[in-house]
Amino acid sequence: MKTGVSIFTTAFVALGASWLSLVYAPFQQLGGAKQTIVLQSTDIYPLQRTGEATLGAQVYRANGCAACHSQQVRQRDVATEITLTDLGVHKPVDFADFVKSLSELPELALYKNSLNANLKDWNGGLPKTLWRGTDKDIAAEMADRLKSVGVKSETRIVATGVDIARGWGSRQSVAADYLYDTPVQLGSLRAGPDLANIGVRAPDVNWQLQHLYAPRSLVKNSTMPAFRYLFTVQKIGAQPAPEALVLPKEFEPADGFEVVPTAEAKELAAYLVSLKSNVPLYEAPFTPIIPTK
């Protein structure tokens, strides 16, 4: 470090190396990313947002919603889960024998204790999660054994982790989820809950609108500020406006007035409802639960 040139060169090389690896390389690797196919289907993912939802993303940006909300689900692991669906001729008590039969195989014997603990207080209610682990072969073996004694079971792939246990998503967020977001608003603080799947949890636009106008009318103890400036309080005309919010008593405006969402509020609600990253992908697999009719 004897001359200005040597400082300049050192700094240039150091920053250049970091630029190449953390700017240029990701750009090369991910910059040309395209849509992918949803696992075990022909659907394309992600689809571009349309109409109001696109505009809503800009309302989300303008009001800095990402300051308090993340849009990213984290996961710990991917596990295989065996759920009993039909016991056939067997009774819950018989499973003690089943567990005993497992101890013949050394690799299955490892799970004997956890299986026993799981089945201890089981009253026979179905479906019952029998086993969850990361080893696929063990799961297959176990499923085979159940089948051979006439017990029906389902083997599912599930993502595990705290965010998933909180119901914030069924799998981790991956790069593909953000393909069409500009700007991508991942957020860095969870002063409020994660919104990566808010469209799955609260798909009702009216719920979203009411929640924006008066959060505490729907979520007790919510710390979210009310966004009343996204709504207009107006005198009720000859007929109440069709889009006026239906609010609980204590949140209603003065008599003869109604609360009408502005265009911005409607766009924001449409955007929130569009936030869904709940399809299985190659890099984030899980077996979706098909709702029983």
Own/partner pairs for 40-46, CB < 8 Å, 24+ apart? 40/280, 43/279, 45/176, 45/279, 45/281, 46/176, 46/177, 46/179, 46/180, 46/277
CB of 90 to other proteins, least distance (A): 32
**Residue of 40, 113, 114, 182 that binds other proteins (CB under 8 A):** 182
CB of 94 to other proteins, least distance (A): 31
8 A C-beta contact, residue 88 and residue 292: no
**Residue of 95, 111, 131, 178 that binds other proteins (CB under 8 A):** 178
When asked if residue 282 is in the footprint of other proteins (CB under 8 A), the reply is no
Of 70 and 274, which CB lies nearer to other proteins in the complex structure? 70
Nearest to 119 by CA among 150, 84, 146: 84
Using CB under 8 A as the binding rule, the residues of this chain from 146 to 165 that contact other proteins are: 162, 165
**Residue of 37, 166, 234, 282 that binds other proteins (CB under 8 A):** 166
When asked if residue 113 is in the footprint of other proteins (CB under 8 A), the reply is no
When asked if residue 2 is in the footprint of other proteins (CB under 8 A), the reply is yes
How many residues sit in the footprint of other proteins (CB under 8 A)?
A: 72
When asked if residue 12 is in the footprint of other proteins (CB under 8 A), the reply is yes
8 A C-beta contact, residue 103 and residue 83: no
Pattern 45-74, binding to other proteins, x per CB under 8 A? ----------------xxxxxxxx-x-x-x
- Bin 88: left if φ > 0, else alpha if -120 < ψ < 50, else beta: left
**Residue of 200, 205, 218, 224 that binds other proteins (CB under 8 A):** 224
Nearest to 77 by CA among 128, 33, 136: 136
Q: Give the chain's largest Cα–Cα span.
A: 87
Of 189 and 263, which CB lies nearer to other proteins in the complex structure? 189
When asked if residue 187 is in the footprint of other proteins (CB under 8 A), the reply is yes
Dist CA 61 CA 275 (whole Å): 14
Residue range at the interface with other proteins (CB under 8 A); choices 80-88, 175-183, 241-249, 255-263? 175-183
Dist CA 205 CA 267 (whole Å): 10
When asked if residue 223 is in the footprint of other proteins (CB under 8 A), the reply is yes
The answer, yes or no, to whether the previous bond of 280 is cis (omega within 30 of 0) is no
CB of 25 to other proteins, least distance (A): 9
When asked if residue 215 is in the footprint of other proteins (CB under 8 A), the reply is yes
For residue 84, give both structure tokens.
Answer: 């009993």
